[in-house]
Amino acid sequence: MRLLIAEDDADLRQVLTELLAQSGYEVDGRGNGREALEALLATPYDLGIIDLGLPGVSGLEIVRALRARGSTVPILIVTARDSLNDRVGGLDAGADDYIVKPFDLPELRARVRALLRRQHAMAGSELRVGPLTLRPGEPRITLGDATIDLPAGEFALLEALAMRAGHVVSRAHIASRLTRSGDPPSDTAIEICVHRLRRRLEPHGLKVRTLRGFGYLLETAADA
Ligand code: CA
């Protein structure tokens, strides 16, 4: 397992690097946002731990740039204590989790383990939501008895929703998943995609609910 830590505080970076190396991870550190982004794009890391306040390119910009280029590397963002906007912004940009400074080292270790476990479980295994079976990264899905090859946009949307079935997925997160070659989709494009997916899913008792101002949620008829 190979991790990248982007943290401009050299002492903290060293402490984190040593701690995670002791846990058996291979750890690289970067103190500059631009270098961190380049490293994350060039090397297949299993996880990035990204401080939001970085010189060069900010942590938020790193996450956006990664997702815009289709990178699915799990990202744990590190934020200062009372910056709720930063946390929400980080998750909306496509980060997977956040941890607030100052944090306990055992908590960091636990978050890292959880994210790696989730990524590992998703890499090869199937997601099941009611009659739907989906493998992350593979647009061929099973719905009831039917096997369907979904168009890229519908698949990206369904994948994002299925990974968090029963929980709301923000519109911004969906937009980041539907972004192709750097251009985010329009609101209309997202709505069309949702509409098409609903038409496929509803006969099978799966619903894509709209939560106005928040996003969308995938649920089975049994949840509704
Ligand atoms: Ca910093």
pLDDT-derived band of residue 7, with 50, 70 and 90 as boundaries? very high
Centre of ligand 1 from the C-alpha of residue 98, in Å: 14
Centre of ligand 1 from the C-alpha of residue 8, in Å: 5
Q: How many CB atoms lie within 10 A of CB 28?
A: 16
Average pLDDT of span 147-156? 92
Pairing of strands 47-51, 75-79: parallel
Centre of ligand 1 from the C-alpha of residue 151, in Å: 40
Q: Cα(98)–Cα(54) distance, rounded to whole angstroms?
A: 16
Centre of ligand 1 from the C-alpha of residue 33, in Å: 10
The pTM assigned to this predicted structure is 0.59
pLDDT-derived band of residue 82, with 50, 70 and 90 as boundaries? low
Both tokens assigned to 35 = 């270098």
Q: What are phi and psi of 125, to 5 degrees?
A: -100, 175
Percent of the chain with pLDDT over 70: 95
Centre of ligand 1 from the C-alpha of residue 3, in Å: 18
Centre of ligand 1 from the C-alpha of residue 184, in Å: 28
Question: In the predicted model, is pLDDT for residue 37 greater than 90?
Answer: yes
Is the preceding peptide bond at 102 cis, omega within 30 degrees of 0? yes
Centre of ligand 1 from the C-alpha of residue 80, in Å: 9
Q: How many CB atoms lie within 10 A of CB 224?
A: 9
Select the more confidently predicted residue: 104 or 198: 198
Q: At what angle do helices 171-178 and 59-68 cross, to 10 degrees?
A: 50
- The predicted structure's pLDDT at residue 60: 93
Ranges 48-52, 111-115, 220-224: which has the least confidence: 220-224
Average pLDDT of span 93-120? 88
Centre of ligand 1 from the C-alpha of residue 15, in Å: 14
- The predicted structure's pLDDT at residue 224: 59
Query: In sequence order, what are the residues at sequence separation of 6 or more whose Cβ sits closer than 8 angstroms to the Cβ of residue 195?
Result: none
pLDDT-derived band of residue 123, with 50, 70 and 90 as boundaries? low
- The predicted structure's pLDDT at residue 59: 94
Both tokens assigned to 106 = 């055992």
Q: Cα(69)–Cα(128) distance, rounded to whole angstroms?
A: 27
- Residue 68 CA, chain-centre distance (Å), reads 12
Average pLDDT of span 114-124? 75
Q: How many CB atoms lie within 10 A of CB 18?
A: 11
Centre of ligand 1 from the C-alpha of residue 206, in Å: 43
Q: With b meaning 16 or more CB within 10 Å and e meaning fewer, what string describes 196-218?
A: ebeebbeebebbbeeeeeebbbb
- The predicted structure's pLDDT at residue 23: 86
Strand partners, 148: 141
Ranges 50-54, 73-77, 82-86, 174-178: which has the least confidence: 82-86
Q: How many CB atoms lie within 10 A of CB 98?
A: 20
Q: How many CB atoms lie within 10 A of CB 137?
A: 11
Q: How many CB atoms lie within 10 A of CB 157?
A: 25
- The predicted structure's pLDDT at residue 165: 86
CB atoms within 5 A of ion ligand 1 belong to 8, 51, 53
- Of 58, 51, 36, 54, the closest CA to residue 99 belongs to 51
